[in-house]
Amino acid sequence: MKLSRLIFGFVLINFTNISSQSINKLLEQAIEKIDLLKCISYKSIKGSSAPYDSVLINQYSSFYKVMIEPKDLLIGARFISYNDSSKIDFSYNNYISVRYDWENKTAILDTLKQTRPTLHSPFYIKVRKLLKYVIKNMDSIKCQVNKYKDTLQFTFEIKNKLAEFFNMIPSLFQKEGVVSSYSIWTNKDLFPFKFKRKMPHQTSIEEVIKVYDYNCDDIVDKQFGVYLPYGFSIIDKQGDKIMTVELEGKVAPNWSLKNLDGKIIQLSDYKGKNLLVVFTGVGCGHCHLALPFLNKFYDEYKDNGFNIVSIESFSDNITVLKRYKDMNKFNYEFLLADKATTSNYKIVAVPVFILINKNGLIEKVFTGYKKVETDREIIDYVNKM
């Protein structure tokens, strides 16, 4: 689906007296449109203004890739966002969020509390949550519908409550005299594209200005793990580094993992051989980018006592993993990680390349991937082993 910027006309029909049953029906249809989404990629513009001021400040745009995740009770999706079309600035999956600081080359990891998270859900998730709340509480909410040439505008006033719909857990506080006002714009097919929140302390707006082609079938069974750009280090919310490189010079922790055929493969199977262990993820673009190098490396070094093992760190979908391996034509072992292995190797982001020598010691750790640079760094080090 490709949409250019959504512009509406100025022919206005006011439905102030429309029945609550009719509004309910329209809102249900809008929710049905959202429920058809499995994944979506879009660009939105966000902005906010001070109370009683219509001039938006802090206006910025973001590009999103979103997969709806009904099992996620906090955010309702897993997603990544970019400040432009190339640089990732945020990712979220399975209650873990990561903010990317490109100036300091750090990925800041945070585990969300499962009570009242401050993280905002993607556009369509929070719109759906608001609409469901309105339908359920229609008797106590003032509703108005304005029809323009090609769009509908729904306005809701929730009286005597500070009502926030940032994610899957609404924040609702009783407060006498307060009005929480929301507006949702849809196109003529009742597909939402704009969200306005007006509170006593702030007004904020988000508008989807473009929806992009996005092949959901390619990613529906994949996980967005924690992606680590080349040269980045990982820190937790308190600023402490989470360092896989701290393992250098230490005995490699043993592992016993299944390959895609269910066979158990152990680190000890490679005793007396040099080994390149790659922690990867099928949903990680830079992991995929590294595959031609790894295939070439395996072909050139396998006869010199050097092996490769790739460990999938996020997905356990055997069908998807087999298809991924077949499509990318790699012949080395592809294993499924367990929690003990990722914990022992301090893996919270991928890709990570770990060189283990024939004595079982970790020689070198490379984090992130950049074509040519990472290839050269690994080859140069291997040639010294």
Domain ranges of the chain: 13-218, 235-382
Tell me: domain 13-218, CATH 2.50.20.20, correct?
yes
Is residue 327 scored above 60 in pLDDT? yes
Per residue in 49-58, pLDDT tens? 766 666 666 7
Residue 72 in tokens:
């996620």
DSSP code at position 359: T
The answer to whether the bond into 351 is cis (omega within 30° of 0) is: yes
Whole-structure pTM value: 0.67
d(CA 74, CA 118): 10
Is residue 156 scored above 60 in pLDDT? yes
Per residue in 186-209, pLDDT tens? 999 999 999 999 988 788 999 999
- 335 DSSP β-pair partners: 259, 311
d(CA 60, CA 43): 11
Spatial contact of 126 and 195, defined as CB atoms under 8 Å apart: yes
Residue 350 to residues 9, 145, 222, 225, 377, Cα–Cα distance (Å): 47, 48, 14, 7, 17
CA atoms 34, 40, 43, 48: torsion sign: positive
Residue 152 in tokens:
């509908």
Report the CATH number of the 235-382 domain.
3.40.30.10
CA 254 to chain centre: 31
Please name the amino acid found at residue 141. Answer: I
Is beta strand 106-111 parallel, antiparallel or unpaired with respect to 233-236? parallel
Does the fold of domain 235-382 match that of domain 13-218? no
Greatest Cα-to-Cα distance within the chain, rounded to the nearest angstrom: 81
